[in-house]
Structure 1
C-alpha cells in the first residue's frame, strides 16, 4: 500500500475485527518464490531462489477446518464468503481445547490504531491463559509504524514476534526479514503444520506469499483477492437525490462537477488516484509491476495507462471537486465522508463495516455506504489485478529456541481460529458479559470491552481464511459479498502473482521518489513531462538494469 496521507489509510486496508481476509484455497497455480541469496540478489541462482518443485516442499499442507461453520453467503469464483448470523457461545466450535504453551513469555510488536489497553487487563490475560503463555505487547502507533520498524530491525533488541505490513516492504526491510527471522519450514512445511490445525486451514495462496529469502518465514494475515482499494459512495445520499453511480470516467467527472457545492461544504470526492490506476488497468506495485511485451518486460511506470491515470486524477483536482483537505493531504478522509462533506472515496474495504457501525450506533441510523463497480476508463469491462494471498505477516525472531518458536506457533494457531469458533469469538470480542453483551442477537461491547479489546494485536499474529462476518450489520455483509462477486470475473493474475521477490540491494531505493511525484502531478505542482523525465531518469539509474535482472530470472525458470 502507498505511504502518503492521501492514499487509502493503513487501517482501511485491514479487515475489521470480525473479519479475517484471505484468498480462496484452490485454483491458484503454485509459483516459485525468490529471495536474496549469496550473490546479492533474489535471482540469478542465489540461495534464496526456490523452484516450483522446491516451493511445493516448503508450503504447508492445506486441511480445511473441521469446526468452521458453513457461510450464509458462499464464495463464488473465489469471492469471500459471508456470515451475518450470530452464533451463541454454547454453539461455537472449539479448536484449542487445552492450552499447549510452555507457560513462558513472548514479546510482540504490532501496529495499533488507537489507545493501547493497560498491561495485565482481563482480555489479554484470558487470551494468555487460553494459549498457555504470556504475551508482552509492544504496540506501536500504526500511523508511524514504518519508522519504528526500520529502527527496530536495524538494532540488536528485536522482539520475539514482529509484524511487517506489505506496504513497508521497501528499502532494507526485505533483507532484514531474511537475516533476522526464523525459517518456519521445519515446523510448518508439509504435514508438520497439522500439529496446528488452524494454521493448516489457512489457504495455500497465503502461505505462498509468505516465502521470503527462499524459506517459509511469515505467519500470514490472509487477504482477499481484491479490496485493497474500493470506490465507495454515500448510497443514502445518492438514493435521496435519484443519482446512480457513474459508469465511465467522463461520466464521473461531469457528475462530480454537478454535485460539488463548495458553498455548502460538499465536494464530490477525495483523492481518487488509487482507484484511477484500476480504472486504467495500471499494473500493481511490486513485485508484479512488469508485463511481457515480446521478448522484453514493460514496467508500470512505462505504461501509457500510468500517465493517463495521473492525468485524469489531475482533472478532478483542477475541477475543484476534490475536498480541500484532501488537496492539502491532511485530515481524515473517512470522517469527511461520514459527515457528508465528500460523497465518494477510494479506501480499503476494511473501513466499510466500521464506518457503518459508528454512524448507525452514533445517531445517524440512515447512513449507508456501498461500493461502486469498477469499469474500464472508457466504460467497458475493467482489468482488476489480483493481490497476493497475504499482505501482512508476523515473523519470529530467529534467535528463539525451538520450544519458544513452538510457543509462538501455538499463539498463532489460536489467533487463526475461523469464524464460528470460541477462540475466534474470544479474540474479536473478549468474554461475554464482561467485554460484550448480546442484544437482539448481536454482540455489543461493554465499556470495559471498548477499552480492553483491541483485536488488531492478535489479528496481526495470524488470521484465518477470508470471511465477511458482521452479525451486527447484515446488510454490509450482503453488499460486500455482492460487490466481490460482481468484480471477480474481471480479476487477472499479474506476471509475478503470488511471489515475494527480493531484488538486489542496489535497487532498494530506485522508486522512492515516485509516490510523492505522483501526488505532485495530480495536484498540479508538477507536470506529466516531469513524470516522463523521472521515468527516463529511473531507467538510467537502474530501471533498465532491473528489467534485465527480471528477464534473467524468467529465463532461468523457463
Structure 2
C-alpha cells in the first residue's frame, strides 16, 4: 500500500518533496510516493521555540494502536514495516463509526500536479467515510509560500491550512500563533482518546506542533533516522566482485577500481551527504539541528573539524576523477535514474524512497538491475556518528475562527487520515475506491488512470499515522529499508534542538544562506577549504555569535527535547 509522507533528504527540502516522506516511505505499483511529517514553531515574538517547559501538559497522551500488528516493529527510530501481500478481505476497521457531523470544512493545502475537480469520486468517498464535507482549496506547491503569506495576511482564512516546515519563514510563525486555534482543549492529555488514531501518533511528532505555548498543529510523523542513503548497483558489484566499503579509504580504493572514463563508467555522483555522515557532521537539514551543546558550549556544524574534513574528502573524489561529469556540472540524483540504470556510475546518495522507485522503474525492462543501500561507515572504519532529522515536518492548522463543531469535524477527518496501514481507512485515504481508483492483482494494488488523477496529495496532508514502509510489489525492498533504518538508528544521536520547531529572529534569517553553495564550490574545486573557514569567521562577526547566544538562551530557558 502507499505510505505516509517521505521526508526530504537533509539539505534538500522542498526540492525533492514528492520523491521523498516521511516520513517513512511507502509507495506501490501504479501509485505515487506520498508524504509524512509535521511540525510547528514560533512563539508569537521575533523567533521562538516549541519546547516550552510546560510542554508535557500540552501533549496528547500516547496510546499505542493495536488494530494492526506490523510485520516489522519500529526499532531505533525506524518506521514500522509491512511485507505481506495485500488482502482486502483482511483489512481491519480502525474507525468503527463516523465522528463527523456533516459540517463543511475548507482546506487550503499545497498540491504538486494538476488538482482534480472538487466533485470527484475520491473526494465524495472520503467525505462519506469521515462524515464531513471537505472542500479543497489546493494551491501550487511550488509557489505555495507566496499564496500562504497573502492568505494569512488577510481576514479570509480557510478552516484548515496545511503548512510544510520549509514554508515557516518570515512572519508565518507569528501568523500561526495569532490566527490558528489551540487544539489542547480537544487533544491534550487523555482528551485525545476520543480520536484513537491520533492518540497513536508518536509524542515526538506532537511536540513539534507546540507553537506559542499551545498545541496548534496536526502532525504527519516520520522516522528521525537520517534518510539520505548511499545507494549502489548491487548486481554490478556482485558481477565484478566489488566489496562494499567500510571506511573512507576503502571507498576511495573502490572508486579507483570502478572508474573507467574510456568505457563511460565512473564510480559515483557527488557524495557530500555521505561524507557528512561518515565524519559525524551535525545535520544540515534544518537550521536548529545544526547546533549542539559540546562541553558546555553551543557549536555550529560549520565550526567543526569534521565539517571541513568531510568537504576535503569529497573534494578528493572529484579531483581524482571518480565523479560522473554530470555532478561536476552540478547535476545530481534527481536526474540520475537513466544513467544509474545504464551503469555510467554505480554509487550515489539520495532519499530512501528511491530504493523502491528505482527498483520499480527497472523491474520489467532490466530484470537483473538491483539497487541496494550501503550502511554508513565511520571515516576511519569505526562506527558512524549520525544525527537525527526531525520527527515531523508538515502541519495542518485550524483557524481560530472555526466553531467547536468545525474543529471537531476536522479532528474527525484527521482520525481517519491517521489510520494505520492495514486498515480500510488507510486504503481509502491512500488509494480511494476499489475498482474505480485501484485494482488488486496477486496481492499488489495498482492505481487506475482515474486513481492517479484523483487520489493524490490531499487528505493525507491533514494528519498521518506513525511512519510506515510497505511495498506489496517489492516486499524485499520494504524489509531492507526498515532494517537499514534500524541498523543506522543504533548510531543516531539527537542534537540539542531535536524535536523542536524553532523560528530564528528575522534579523538573522539570511545569515547562513551562502554556505551550501560554498560547500558545492569547494568539493568541485572552485573554492578552497580555507574559503569556508573565512566564511565561517565572517558569519560569526555578522551575527553568528549573537545567534549562538540566542540559541543558548532558548536552551537554558526551555531545556532540550533530545533524550
* TM, length-normalised to structure 1: 0.88
Are 2:95 and 2:425, in contact at CA under 8 Å, matched by a contact in 1? yes
Q: 1:328 to 1:119 in 2, by over 3 A?
A: farther
Q: 1:178 to 1:256 in 2, by over 3 A?
A: farther
Which residues of 2 match residues 170-209 of structure 1 at below 5 A?
Answer: 170-209=169-208
The 1-side partners of 2:36 and 2:558 are apart by 28
SS at match of 2:205: helix
Cα shift at 1:62: 1.0
Cα shift at 1:245: 1.9
SS at match of 1:344: strand
Moved over 6 A (4+): 2-8, 18-23
Q: Is 1:314 matched with 2:315?
A: yes
The 1-side partners of 2:306 and 2:547 are apart by 21
Q: Is 1:55 matched with 2:61?
A: no
Are 2:99 and 2:412, in contact at CA under 8 Å, matched by a contact in 1? yes
**Alignment partner, residue 380 of structure 2:** 378
**Alignment partner, residue 437 of structure 2:** 435
The 1-side partners of 2:187 and 2:482 are apart by 31
SS at match of 1:110: strand
SS at match of 1:255: helix
Q: 1:338 to 1:200 in 2, by over 3 A?
A: farther
**Alignment partner, residue 446 of structure 1:** 448
Find the partner of 1:36 among 32, 36, 43.
43
The 2-side partners of 1:4 and 1:383 are apart by 18
Please, which moves more after superposition, 154-163 or 502-511?
Answer: 154-163
Q: 1:258 to 1:471 in 2, by over 3 A?
A: same
Which residues of 2 match residues 83-102 of structure 1 at below 5 A?
Answer: 83-102=82-101
Q: 1:229 to 1:446 in 2, by over 3 A?
A: same
The 1-side partners of 2:182 and 2:212 are apart by 9
Please, which moves more after superposition, 381-390 or 439-448?
Answer: 439-448
**Alignment partner, residue 26 of structure 1:** none
CA offset digits 1:383-415 (Å, max 9, x no partner): 111223212222223332322222222221111
Which residues of 2 match residues 464-503 of structure 1 at below 5 A?
Answer: 464-503=465-504
**Alignment partner, residue 518 of structure 2:** 517
The 2-side partners of 1:144 and 1:269 are apart by 33
Q: 1:250 to 1:263 in 2, by over 3 A?
A: same
Please, which moves more after superposition, 501-510 or 294-303?
Answer: 501-510
CA offset digits 1:219-275 (Å, max 9, x no partner): 111111214211111222222222222222222233224323444443322222222
**Alignment partner, residue 545 of structure 1:** 546
Are 2:210 and 2:217, in contact at CA under 8 Å, matched by a contact in 1? yes
Q: 1:433 to 1:7 in 2, by over 3 A?
A: closer
Please, which moves more after superposition, 441-450 or 195-204?
Answer: 441-450
CA offset digits 1:481-503 (Å, max 9, x no partner): 22122222212121222222233
The 2-side partners of 1:173 and 1:245 are apart by 45
Q: 1:419 to 1:324 in 2, by over 3 A?
A: same
The 2-side partners of 1:424 and 1:94 are apart by 9
Q: 1:149 to 1:372 in 2, by over 3 A?
A: farther
Cα shift at 1:20: 8.6
Cα shift at 1:542: 1.2
Q: 1:278 to 1:175 in 2, by over 3 A?
A: farther
CA offset digits 1:163-204 (Å, max 9, x no partner): 333344444443343334322212211111112111111111
SS at match of 1:533: helix
SS at match of 1:346: strand
The 2-side partners of 1:144 and 1:16 are apart by 26
SS at match of 1:219: strand
Are 2:248 and 2:380, in contact at CA under 8 Å, matched by a contact in 1? yes
Q: 1:410 to 1:308 in 2, by over 3 A?
A: same
The 1-side partners of 2:277 and 2:155 are apart by 41
The 2-side partners of 1:377 and 1:156 are apart by 54
Q: Is 1:352 matched with 2:351?
A: no
**Alignment partner, residue 28 of structure 1:** none
The 1-side partners of 2:117 and 2:149 are apart by 26
Are 2:85 and 2:442, in contact at CA under 8 Å, matched by a contact in 1? no
SS at match of 2:18: helix
**Alignment partner, residue 64 of structure 1:** 64
CA offset digits 1:51-87 (Å, max 9, x no partner): 1xx11110001112242x2222233344333111134
Cα shift at 1:116: 3.2
SS at match of 2:255: helix
* TM, length-normalised to structure 2: 0.87
Are 1:20 and 1:467, in contact at CA under 8 Å, matched by a contact in 2? no
Point out where structure 1 has 5 or more consecutive residues left out of the alignment: 24-32
Please, which moves more after superposition, 168-177 or 193-202?
Answer: 168-177
The 2-side partners of 1:121 and 1:306 are apart by 51
Cα shift at 1:301: 1.4
Q: 1:511 to 1:112 in 2, by over 3 A?
A: same
Alignment RMSD (CA, Å): 2.9
Please, which moves more after superposition, 196-205 or 487-496?
Answer: 487-496
SS at match of 2:502: coil
SS at match of 1:288: helix
- Give the length in aligned residue pairs: 539
The 1-side partners of 2:235 and 2:455 are apart by 31
The 2-side partners of 1:150 and 1:370 are apart by 41
**Alignment partner, residue 30 of structure 1:** none
